[in-house]
């Protein structure tokens, strides 16, 4: 299983904050996982196409080529605005 999390405006666009899924067959990196999620429907396709989104794997910011393994926590979110 992998834990997926979505925050702020992205969470609202997708209508979901977190979910657990089985790591899909053949998916080994973040780019492929994002693409797999985008295939769910046009809403997911457009929401995750935003190039400003950041992604964290196990709570560390990563690039699109980051490897994804069973047990990972992967989070997508817009640019941060704290402080």
Partner 1 sequence: MIRVQTDDFDPGNELEQLRSRSAGQAGAIVSFTGLVRDLNAGESVSQMTLEHYPGMTEKALAKIEQAASEQWDLTATLIIHRVGLLAPNDHIVFVAAASPHRKQAFRACEYMIDYLKTQAPFWKKETLQDGTRWVEPDVSV
Task: Please report how close the Cβ of residue 64 comes to partner 1 at its closest, in angstroms.
Answer: 19
Task: Tell me the C-alpha distance between 77 and 33, whole Å.
Answer: 15
Q: What is the largest CA-CA distance in the chain?
A: 40
35/62 with CB nearer partner 1:
62
One residue of 26, 39, 59, 70 binding partner 1 per CB under 8 A: 59
Among 23, 27, 56, 62, binds partner 1 (CB under 8 A): 56
Can you tell me whether residue 32 is helix, strand or coil?
A: helix
| Residue 1 binds partner 1, judged by CB under 8 A | no
């Amino acid at each position: 299983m992998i834990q997926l999390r979505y925050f702020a405006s992205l969470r609202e666009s997708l209508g979901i904050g977190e979910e657990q899924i089985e790591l899909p067959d053949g998916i080994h990196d973040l780019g492929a996982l994002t693409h797999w999620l985008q295939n769910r429907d046009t809403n997911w396709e457009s929401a995750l196409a935003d190039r400003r989104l950041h992604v964290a794997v196990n709570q560390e910011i990563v690039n699109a080529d980051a490897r994804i393994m069973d047990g990972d926590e992967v989070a997508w979110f817009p640019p941060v605005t704290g402080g």
